[in-house]
Amino acid sequence: MVTGTLISASLIAIGLVWFLSAHVGGNPGDHIFSGEPKYFENPFGMVRRALDWHAAGEQLSIAMIGIFLLLLNPPVRVLLAGVGYLMEGNRMYALISAVVLVVLAISFFW
């Protein structure tokens, strides 16, 4: 079950190292507030931007995909646990897993 965490951590590290190596010696530009780019608003925009090699911000998109996958790990684990409990015939733990999954979904989108 550590695989998802390792994949997301690898993507975050690759994106950040690539971003930092591309911006060595540049001005920080932190005195100008420009907000988040539009492609960070949904996961599909981040993936599309990360796969577009001609775009300027693909380094940060790869790191953001890693963060999204890291956030997706707990709901996937709870879902798989619930399915496993259903396959074993343990309805009580499957119901508890379903309740936890609903709480995670509400907290994820709230």
Residue-wise pLDDT tens digits, 1-18: 688 899 999 999 998 888
How many domains does the chain divide into?
Answer: 1
Look up the domain containing 33 and give its range: 3-109
Report whether 39 contacts 56 (CB < 8 A): no
How confident is the model at residue 107, as a pLDDT? 87
How confident is the model at residue 92, as a pLDDT? 97
The pLDDT of residue 85 is above 90: yes
Residue 13's nearest CA partner among 59, 76, 52 is 59
How confident is the model at residue 91, as a pLDDT? 95
Q: Look-up: residue for tokens 């998802």?
A: 4
The pLDDT of residue 55 is above 90: no
- Which amino acid would we find at residue 86? L
Greatest alpha-carbon pair distance for the chain in Å reads: 60
* Measured distance CA(58)–CA(104) in Å, rounded: 29
DSSP 40: G
Average pLDDT, the chain: 84
DSSP H helices in 28-57:
43-51
- Higher per-residue pLDDT: 19 or 88: 88
∠ CA(33), CA(36), CA(39), 5° rounding? 150
How confident is the model at residue 75, as a pLDDT? 92
Whether pTM > 0.95 for this model: the answer is no
